[in-house]
Each structure stands twice: as C-alpha cells, then as structure tokens.
Amino acid sequence: MPEQKPSGRATIELNRMTKFSRTRAMHQFYRDVFTRTLDLPEADVLPAHVVAEILHYRNSDLDTMKPTLMAAVTGLEADKDEAIKALMCAITLANNAFDVKNQGQQQAFPAEMAEAVTNYVVAALQKEKSLNFVVAAVQILFRINEIESALFLISNNLSLLSNSAPVLKILLLICLMEEDDNQAQIVIQHLTADSALLGEDPFALLMIVCGIYRLGGVPESFIDFRPLAEIEPVPDYSRYQWRIPHTGNGKTTVLVACDKKYYLEHARALVASIYDTNGTDLNVHLHVYNCDDDLHAQVRELAQRFPGLAISLSAEEVPAVHGINVHYASRRFIFMRYALEQFAAPVLLLDADCLVRQRWQETLRTFYPKGLILTQNDAAPLWERVQGGFLYADADALGFRYLDTVARFIDRNLASGNAVWFLDQVALSFAVDVLPAVDQMQIGREPASRLIDINHRNEAFSWVVTTHKNGDGEYQQYKNALCEKYLAAHEAY
C-alpha cells in the first residue's frame, strides 16, 4: 500500500494505469518541460564550471565530463561524494534525451544508455536519499522515458515527495496522458490547494484547467471555457482590411497567416511549394498581421512570379501586447471562419513554415469523411488532440458550426487577456467535444504525420519544421531548392 500522506491531507495513490503507451509515445518536448531545471544545491561542492556545463548548458558527453567529476575534491564523506558524482553522471547521460539534441525529431532514447542512467541513479540513491536527490532522480527517469521506474520511485517515497512541485506536475501529466481521471483529480486538488506548489507555471496551469474541464468543471480564469457553451458574442469581423481581393473561382484556398518577419522567412517558400506541387489548382490567401505598404508591394511582386496562381491578401492590426505570438497563432482561426463565408469555397489552413509536398486533390481523395478534416495524434495531450498547423473545411454547415465555436473561444479569451500558450489548440481540441455526436462522426481525422510531417517523409502532404525552427536536413534542402527556383537569387531565405 502507498504511504499515507501526513497532516491529514489527501493521499496520492498510484495504480498501474496501463503500460503507459500514450505517455511513452508523447513528444520529448513535453518530457523536457518539467525536467529542464533540476534543483540540486548539493552539487555546489563540485567545480562551478562543471556544474554549469551539466545543469545549465546540458552537456551530454559523459566521456569528457566523468573524469573531471571523479577527480573533483568535494570535502564530503565518501558515501555523499559517490552519490553526488553518480547523480551528475546520470544527469549528463540523460541530457542526450533533450528535444534540442535531436532537433525536435522523435527518437527513442537508446536502451543501453537508459540502463546506464538507471544504474547511476540507483547507485546515487543507495548512498543518499535526500529530497533533492529523489526529486532529481524522478525527473531524470521521466526525461529518458523510463515512466514505470519514475512512478515506482514516486510510489516508494510518497511522504517525502508529497510537496514536490516538479514530481506532482510530472504525475499529473502522466495521469492526463493515460486518461486516469480519478488520479488526475486527486493531483489537481493537491496542487491547487497550495499556491506555492503551483506558482505561476503556465504549463502546469494549462494542465489543470484542461483537466478540470475534462472532469466536468468549467474554468473561467487562465483560460475561460465558458465560450464553448455560449453562442454570444460573435467576433467582430469588420477588423480585417482587404489589400488584394480574393478570386471567387470556387477553388480550395490555402490560408496562411503571419507577420512580416515570418512572411519573409517562411511564407514565400510555402507559396513556392504550393505552386511547385499543385500548379494553379489551389488559390493562396495571405493574412498578414500589421501589414505595411512595403509588404503589400512585395506580395504583388510575388504573385507575378507564379503565373495563373490566384494570390489574395488581407491585413489585421494587432497591437504589441503580452503574448503576441499567441495572438498570431490564434487569430488566424477567427479569420478562417470569416474567410470560409467570404470565399464560399473550401479553405485549407497551413502553418507559414510548412512546405507542401503532394497534390492536394489527390491527397483529399483518400480521405473520408472529407468536409471537415482535422489532425489526429493519439500521443498528444488532451489540449493538443487537434494540432493548429493544418485545418481543412468545406463551406458547409459542419465547418461553420465548428469554426464558430473555435473563433468565439479564441476571441473571448484574447479579449480577456488570456494569451495563453496552446490557446489555439485548446480551442480546436475542445470545440470538437461540444458538437453533436452526429457532427463528430462526420469529421475526418487523419494522422498528423500524414498531413504535416515533422519527420519529413516523402508520402506526407506537407513538411513542417519541428520545435526547432532552423534546422538542416531534407526540409531545408527542399526549401533552398524552391527558393533558388522561384525567388531571386539575391533574396534572403
């Protein structure tokens, strides 16, 4: 039986939820969130430059770091000396798991390396089992995707870890991924009962409000979920300015929203990829935030490079506010609802840093249903069940109903100052749940890897950059080739 939590507060009990398949498949980005920072003051006895290399600069070269670690004179008694050095070796090896080490590509942590990390952790805890050591051990094991080992360590040290914010947040993420609602509710109650545990961690707050909504509540702060069930007020669509009118030819229009910087760095290459793969079968609409006359002229010049491709342009003024990137990512879905009505034809929204690889009509023929197509990723947390990088909608009742909810949710939250990380995907994901069951059955759900592939496979409709925006490899090679073919050689891309 798990240990009882002291002071009469709620007991956190762990069950063997599953084989943790969803958590294991989760993107490394999420495992990094609560394991980047390790609170280990015990390491202060080691040379400062060594500690900085491992804990702050995330050095992962154990062959280089271990001799320096082992030679360090700590002044500690033998057991404590061995413990801190073993733990630092574990951390060094575990640094190889960080998302940045693999340029955002999903790669399994090597089994032999995981075994070595685990052995170092065990060796450290056999010598020293203080709170900071155990918390760091849980974080290390979670980072390298040793989920069962991390949970075993938590379950054997519940009293010690009952007020550890990193451990509780890791535990909540696992509960949400594995859809263990009972355990999630216990952890949420525990975290929200003590403001010091929760702090102002935006990712933890995101987990909590989404978890509360899943459990039947309707959060009103941080993210306001009330617009999911309310039909008023409707967003103000008069905010948009048309710069280059849309061609009402009935073709599917690819909608790309960005600011000037992203237009120059990414969107032009996306337009080139659309033309290269689909010719003039698709329209392109650029929705630019804070579009100036210079960019307007550049878009007109760009259109001349692609004969027969209908390129239109609209603008939206967005003031410099906190969370401007959230505004940019989210406001495009409000505009999409408006565009769907104005164009009276299908709209395909893509990220500006996407590159199209296949013909759209040939891809669309393989989907059913196909009136509203969303991404599906069973390894994503509940707020990212629908990703924001791809959305296709016909100008029919289902598309309007869905986008009405999405647009209202985003508009109300941005107006309330809730420019929260993942707001757009929270809207896209939970707006599905409030549709009638018959509507939900008519939604086409396709694997994200088929539509917007971060691993850059040839069969995917499009390629996207990963969590790291500037990478090498096939994506960059394809982008360079497009720019050399269609854009002036002297222009930066």
Would you place residue 490 in the very low, low, confident or very high pLDDT band (cuts 50, 70, 90)? very low
Whether the CB-CB separation of 432 and 440 falls below 8 Å is answered with: yes
Would you place residue 8 in the very low, low, confident or very high pLDDT band (cuts 50, 70, 90)? very low
Q: What's the confidence (pLDDT) of residue 103?
A: 73
In a domain, residue 1? The reply is: no
- DSSP bridge partners of 356: 462
Q: Would you say the C-alpha torsion 326, 427, 242, 464 has a positive or negative sign? A: positive
Average pLDDT over every residue of 313-324? 96
Q: What's the confidence (pLDDT) of residue 232?
A: 86
Q: What is the pLDDT of residues 362-417, one digit of tens each?
A: 999 999 989 999 999 889 999 999 999 999 999 999 999 999 999 999 999 999 99
Q: What's the confidence (pLDDT) of residue 469?
A: 54
Exposed e or buried b per residue across 302-326, where buried means at least 16 C-beta atoms within 10 angstroms of its C-beta: bbeebeebbbbbbbbeeeeeebeeb
Q: What's the confidence (pLDDT) of residue 19?
A: 84
Ramachandran angles phi, psi of 183, nearest 5°: -70, -35
Question: Residues 52, 115: one domain?
Answer: yes
Q: What's the confidence (pLDDT) of residue 7?
A: 36
User: How many angstroms separate the CA atoms of 461 and 71, rounded?
Assistant: 53
Cβ neighbours, 10 Å, residue 441: 9
Q: Is 459 exposed, middle or buried (0-12, 13-18, 19+ CB in 10 A)?
A: exposed
Q: What's the confidence (pLDDT) of residue 472?
A: 66
SS3 105: coil
SS3 313: strand
Q: What is the pLDDT of residues 81-123, one digit of tens each?
A: 999 999 999 999 999 999 988 876 778 999 999 999 999 999 9
Could you check whether the bond before residue 233 is cis, i.e. omega within 30 degrees of 0?
yes
> Whole-prediction pTM value?
0.92
Question: Residues 248, 120: one domain?
Answer: no
Whether the CB-CB separation of 393 and 346 falls below 8 Å is answered with: yes
Chain-centroid distance, C-alpha 151: 24
Closest listed residue to residue 248, CA positions, set 333, 162, 160, 312: 312
**Which residue range forms the structural domain that includes residue 291?**
237-486
Q: What's the confidence (pLDDT) of residue 159?
A: 94
Q: Around 419, how many Cα atoms within 13 Å sit in the side-chain half-sphere? A: 15
Question: Residues 411, 461: one domain?
Answer: yes
CATH number of the domain that residue 252 is part of: 3.90.550.10
Question: Domain ends where: 214, 245, 280?
Answer: 214
Q: What is the pLDDT of residues 428-452, one digit of tens each?
A: 999 999 999 999 999 999 999 999 9
In a domain, residue 411? The reply is: yes
Q: What is the pLDDT of residues 189-199, one digit of tens each?
A: 999 999 999 88
In a domain, residue 438? The reply is: yes
Q: What's the confidence (pLDDT) of residue 491?
A: 58
Question: Residues 270, 364: one domain?
Answer: yes
Whether the CB-CB separation of 92 and 115 falls below 8 Å is answered with: no
Question: Residues 199, 273: one domain?
Answer: no
- Decide if pLDDT at 492 tops 60: no
Average pLDDT over every residue of 288-305? 97
Average pLDDT over every residue of 59-76? 97
- Decide if pLDDT at 328 tops 80: yes
In a domain, residue 88? The reply is: yes
User: What is the pairing mode between strands 354-356 and 443-447?
Assistant: unpaired
Whether the CB-CB separation of 371 and 440 falls below 8 Å is answered with: no
Could you check whether the bond before residue 369 is cis, i.e. omega within 30 degrees of 0?
yes
Question: Domain ends where: 159, 181, 214?
Answer: 214
Would you place residue 272 in the very low, low, confident or very high pLDDT band (cuts 50, 70, 90)? very high
Average pLDDT, the chain: 93
Q: What's the confidence (pLDDT) of residue 416?
A: 97
Q: What's the confidence (pLDDT) of residue 468?
A: 60
In a domain, residue 312? The reply is: yes
Q: What's the confidence (pLDDT) of residue 467?
A: 60
Question: Residues 210, 273: one domain?
Answer: no
